[in-house]
Amino acid sequence: MTFPFSLVVLFFITLNWNYKVLYAPSDFKDEEHFVRLTKATQSDLINKFNEDFSDSIDDSKGDIGTETVGFHISSKDVERFVGDSMMKASTGKIRTKEERLKHKEIRRSISKLQLAESYLMADMVLNKIESKLGQVIERDMVFEKGGQRFPFDGVIKNGENITAIEVKVFNKNTLNADGWNRFFSRFDSFYSSLSDTEKKGFSLILGFATEEPTEEMQNMLERRLANAKFNYFLEIYQVDELTREHNQTAS
């Protein structure tokens, strides 16, 4: 009789002090207290990209296909057009509507090239992080919380512990205050939306590909992250090294 009686006692102790373990998130009426993890849509990825670049890309106009992004304007076209525009401006003339539209298309084509390269570079950095940690990274994921969507380049989930991973190609000239504030606010907003329990298990890995000296970028990023409320880790890689390794593997 002692054994069954002990089970009953343990059951009621569990029910009284830790009743939440008996329920799934879907059993609660207010499901906004639980974070959901889903695969990012193409719109999620483009919206995230547009936060970092002024010449935004609109998927509804067919800017981005499901396959490789093309760069349809040659470097000679760009050089000739920019030269002609600068010559016109130096003589006090204004570009025509046709020239302005051409200029806009060039900038959008460059943005599409940047998007394609950012995908490729992010994949290389994620591979590096994955190899270093010895864990599989789920790529292009979205946390859904309270009706909001928070996209990340990668996620590692171990039980209640969640590590989000974000990768950026950053140099001094691209790391301006406005761009950084938009970049950082996404992490801060997501972290603030988490429950106290979720916050304890959350960490962020920031992977950067840069052409600047690694130590210099490390110091700059640590200064900018000084007020971060969440646990974070920096992984900084040189663009040239990543490119060389990628080209060697591709060949």
Residues 168-222 have pLDDT tens digits of: 888 777 667 777 888 888 899 999 999 999 999 999 999 999 999 999 999 999 9
Chain segment 215-237, per-residue pLDDT in tens? 999 999 999 999 999 999 999 99
Q: What is the pLDDT of residue 30?
A: 45
Cα–Cα distance measured from residue 37 to residue 41, given in angstroms and rounded to the nearest whole number: 12
Mean pLDDT of 16-30: 46
Q: Which residues contact 32 (CB under 8 A, 6 or more apart)?
A: 145, 146, 147
How distant is the alpha carbon of residue 150 from its chain centre? 9
- Sequence-distant contacts of 129-132: CB under 8 A, at least 24 apart: 129/154, 129/165, 129/205, 129/207, 129/235, 132/235
Torsion angle defined by CA atoms of residues 225, 229, 231 and 234, in that order, rounded to the nearest 10 degrees: -10
- Which SS3 state, helix, strand or coil, does residue 16 take? helix
What's the predicted TM-score (pTM) here? 0.67
Q: What is the pLDDT of residue 250?
A: 73
Higher per-residue confidence, 68 vs 176: 176
Instruction: Report yes or no: 162 and 155 within 8 Å, Cβ to Cβ.
Output: yes
